[in-house]
C-alpha cells in the first residue's frame, strides 16, 4: 500500500508538471511557472516537513523587497492595528498610559470617553483588571492593550489607587469607540495668528481641521501656521480635502501615473475655509507622502510659503490588496506629481538599505544646518503656477524659507532623558504628588503657562529619578540643555492636566522654526520675505 501510494503521488505530480510545462509553452514569461513548480517540489519532496505559511510569507516579502521601499506585506494579525490610526478610532476604555515603576499609570483620560465618565483621571494607578493583579509583574504595553481593549459595550472592572485618597476603589468601565485625533493642537499663537498641528492624515482629519479653523477664526485668526512636521502621511483623500480648504474651485492639486495605472488628475472642488488669509506650512525631514502633497500644492499655486527643512521624499502611491488569509499587500501602483509636474519621490535605485539611511546622510552632509547643502536628484527646476518662482523636484519639498535644526540647546544628556521617558515619568509623579496644590494655585492653563516655573528642586529630583533609570549625572549636558529640559518638563506637566494643546503651546516657543514662522507673519507680503530670510 505504501509503495502504491508513493507511485500515485509521483504520477499526480508528473501530471501537474506536464500541465505546468504545457502552460509555460503557451506563455512568453515562464518565471511564474518556475515559482509554482518550485513550490510544488519543495512541499512534496523536501526531506522534512515545512511551514507553508512561513515559506509563503518569506517568499512574498523577498519579492516585495526587490520592488521599492514602500511595497510591503502586512500579516493578518497586524492589519487592524496598522489601520487604527488612519481609521480614526478603536474600541477600548480611552486612556493614555505609561508603566511607571512597574505600575500601570494613567497619563490622561480621553475627553468624553468611558474612563473619564467613570471618574478615572491622570495619575491614577490601575493595579488590577477584572480582579487579576497587574502590579509589579513586568507588565508590557502590548499586554495592557490586550487587557483594556475590547468590543464596544463590554465591561471591565478596574481596581484603582489614587494618591491622597484612602484604599482602593473598583471602577466599572463600559468600553466604547475611542477617537484617535489627528489634529493634536489648535490655538492662537498671537493676536492674529492661529496654529494647527496635524500628526497624520486620517479618516476624520478634515472634520477636525475644519472645526479647528472655525474655532480660531472666531477668536480673531487672520494668519495660519499649519504644522506638518513629523507627519508621515496617511489617506490621500484627507490630504486632498485639506488642500481644498486653501484653493479656489477647479485647481489641479496633484496627478498620479503608473505603468498599469492611467494618469489621473485631482482638482479642488469648492471655495474653502481659508482661501485668502496668510498661510505658512512647517515641514521637516519627517514630513512625508500626504504632507508633501499638501505642501506641494500650496507651494505650486503660490498660496502660502513653506518653512523649515526638506521633506522626506515619498511620492509613491500604494493600494491595499487583501490576501486569502487576511494579510494585506500594500503595493506601489503609481507616482505622485505636484501641479507643476514635480515628482516628490527620492531615488531608491541603490537599494532599500541606502534609501532608509538617506535621512542620516542629510545629517552628515550638513543639509540640516545649511540650505546650500540641500541636494535633490532632479537638477531641472520647475516654476510655480502664479508667480513663476523656481521650485525643485526629485526628492521631497524644498522649503521657501530654510530654518536649520537647532543644535545649540541639545545635548546627549537631554536626548537620554527624552528617549528613556524620564522627563515624562517624573512629570506624572510630580503632578500626582502636587495635584491639589497645582489645582489651587493655577485654576486654568493660562495662569499655569504664565506663572509656573520649574525650580532647581524639581531639576534635582529629575536627576535622581534619571539616575535610578541608569542615566548618570551630566553637569555639562544639564547646563547646555537646562532651558529645554525645564520647558519640556513644564510642557509635560501641562499635558497631564490640559492635554496636548497645552503641551504644544509651551514647547513650541523653544523651537526656532516656530519662531521664524511667527516673525514672517509680521511681514506685509510673505513672498517678498523669501529672499530676505
Residue 162 CA to residue 305 CA, distance in Å, equals 48
pLDDT digit string (tens) for 409-436? 899 999 999 988 899 889 988 988 888 8
Task: Tell me if 191 is assigned to some domain.
Answer: yes
Which pLDDT score, from 0 to 100, does residue 509 have? 96
Q: Which domain holds residue 431?
A: 412-510
Q: Are residues 368 and 452 in the same domain?
A: no
Q: Are residues 228 and 334 in the same domain?
A: yes
Which pLDDT score, from 0 to 100, does residue 533 have? 59
State whether residue 69 is helix, strand or coil. Answer: coil
Query: Mean pLDDT across the stretch 19-23?
Result: 45
pTM confidence score: 0.86
Q: Are residues 489 and 402 in the same domain?
A: no
Q: How many alpha carbons lie under 13 Å from residue 511 in its C-beta half-sphere?
A: 18
C-beta neighbour count of 370 within 10 angstroms: 11
Task: Tell me if 299 is assigned to some domain.
Answer: yes
Task: Give the cell for residue 287.
Answer: 514630513
Q: Give the CATH number of the domain where residue 146 resides.
A: 2.30.42.10
Question: In which residue are the cell numbers 521657501 written?
Answer: 400
Task: Tell me if 500 is assigned to some domain.
Answer: yes
Taking phi over 0 as left and psi of -120 to 50 as alpha, with beta for the rest, 179 belongs to beta
* Residues composing the chain: 533
State whether residue 365 is helix, strand or coil. Answer: helix
Task: Give the cell for residue 348.
Answer: 531608491
Q: Are residues 189 and 268 in the same domain?
A: yes
pLDDT digit string (tens) for 365-383? 888 888 877 877 655 689 9
pLDDT digit string (tens) for 272-318? 999 989 999 999 999 999 999 999 999 999 999 999 999 999 999 99
The answer to whether the CB of 257 falls within 8 A of the CB of 334 is yes
Q: Give the confidence band of 12 by pLDDT, cuts at 50, 70, 90.
A: very low
Q: Are residues 339 and 398 in the same domain?
A: yes
Amino acid at each position: 500500500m505504501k509503495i502504491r501510494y508513493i507511485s500515485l503521488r509521483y504520477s499526480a505530480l508528473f501530471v501537474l508538471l506536464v500541465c505546468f510545462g504545457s502552460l509555460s509553452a503557451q506563455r512568453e514569461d515562464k518565471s511564474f511557472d518556475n515559482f509554482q513548480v518550485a513550490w510544488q517540489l519543495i512541499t512534496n519532496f523536501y526531506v522534512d516537513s515545512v511551514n507553508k505559511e512561513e515559506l509563503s510569507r518569506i517568499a512574498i516579502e523577498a519579492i516585495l523587497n526587490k520592488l521599492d521601499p514602500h511595497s510591503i506585506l502586512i500579516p493578518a494579525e497586524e492589519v487592524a492595528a496598522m489601520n487604527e490610526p488612519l481609521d480614526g478610532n478603536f474600541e477600548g476604555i480611552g486612556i493614555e498610559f505609561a508603566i511607571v515603576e512597574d505600575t500601570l499609570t494613567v497619563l490622561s483620560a480621553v475627553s468624553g470617553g468611558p474612563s473619564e465618565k467613570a471618574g478615572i483621571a491622570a495619575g491614577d494607578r490601575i493595579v488590577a483588571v477584572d480582579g487579576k493583579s497587574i502590579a509589579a509583574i513586568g507588565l508590557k504595553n502590548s499586554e495592557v492593550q490586550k487587557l483594556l481593549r475590547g468590543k464596544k459595550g463590554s465591561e471591565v472592572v478596574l481596581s484603582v489607587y489614587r494618591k491622597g485618597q484612602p484604599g482602593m476603589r473598583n471602577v466599572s468601565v463600559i468600553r466604547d469607540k475611542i477617537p484617535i485625533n489627528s489634529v493634536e493642537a489648535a490655538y492662537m499663537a498671537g493676536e492674529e495668528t492661529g496654529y494647527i498641528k496635524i500628526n497624520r492624515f486620517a479618516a476624520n482629519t478634515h472634520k477636525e481641521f475644519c472645526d479647528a479653523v472655525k474655532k480660531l477664526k472666531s477668536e480673531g485668526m487672520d494668519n495660519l501656521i499649519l504644522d506638518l512636521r513629523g507627519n508621515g502621511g496617511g489617506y490621500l483623500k484627507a490630504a486632498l480635502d485639506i488642500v481644498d480648504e486653501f484653493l479656489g474651485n477647479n485647481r489641479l492639486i496633484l496627478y498620479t501615473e503608473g505603468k498599469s495605472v492611467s494618469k489621473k488628475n485631482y482638482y479642488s472642488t469648492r471655495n474653502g475655509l481659508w482661501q485668502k488669509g496668510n498661510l505658512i506650512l512647517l515641514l521637516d525631514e519627517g514630513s512625508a507622502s500626504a504632507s508633501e502633497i499638501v505642501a506641494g500644492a500650496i507651494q505650486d499655486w503660490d498660496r502660502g510659503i513653506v518653512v523649515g527643512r526638506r521633506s522626506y521624499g515619498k511620492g509613491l502611491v500604494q493600494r491595499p490588496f487583501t490576501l486569502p488569509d487576511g494579510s494585506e499587500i500594500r503595493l506601489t501602483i503609481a507616482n505622485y506629481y505636484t501641479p507643476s509636474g514635480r515628482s516628490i519621490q527620492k531615488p531608491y535605485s541603490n537599494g532599500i538599505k541606502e534609501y532608509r539611511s538617506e535621512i542620516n546622510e542629510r545629517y552628515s552632509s550638513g543639509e540640516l544646518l545649511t540650505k546650500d547643502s540641500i541636494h535633490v536628484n532632479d537638477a531641472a527646476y520647475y516654476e510655480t503656477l502664479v508667480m513663476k518662482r523656481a521650485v525643485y523636484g526629485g526628492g521631497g519639498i524644498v522649503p521657501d524659507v530654510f530654518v536649520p535644526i537647532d543644535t545649540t540647546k541639545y545635548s546627549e544628556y537631554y536626548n537620554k532623558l527624552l528617549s528613556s521617558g524620564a522627563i515624562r515619568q517624573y512629570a506624572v509623579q510630580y503632578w500626582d504628588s502636587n495635584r491639589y496644590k497645582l489645582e489651587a494655585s493655577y485654576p486654568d492653563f493660562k495662569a499655569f503657562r504664565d506663572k509656573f516655573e520649574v525650580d532647581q528642586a524639581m531639576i534635582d529630583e529629575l536627576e535622581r529619578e534619571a539616575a535610578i533609570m541608569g542615566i548618570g549625572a551630566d553637569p555639562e549636558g544639564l547646563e547646555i540643555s537646562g532651558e529645554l529640559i525645564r520647558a519640556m518638563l513644564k510642557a509635560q506637566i501641562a499635558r497631564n492636566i490640559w492635554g496636548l494643546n497645552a503641551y504644544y503651546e509651551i514647547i513650541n516657543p523653544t523651537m526656532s522654526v516656530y519662531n521664524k514662522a511667527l516673525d514672517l507673519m509680521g511681514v506685509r507680503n510673505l513672498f517678498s520675505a523669501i529672499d530676505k530670510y
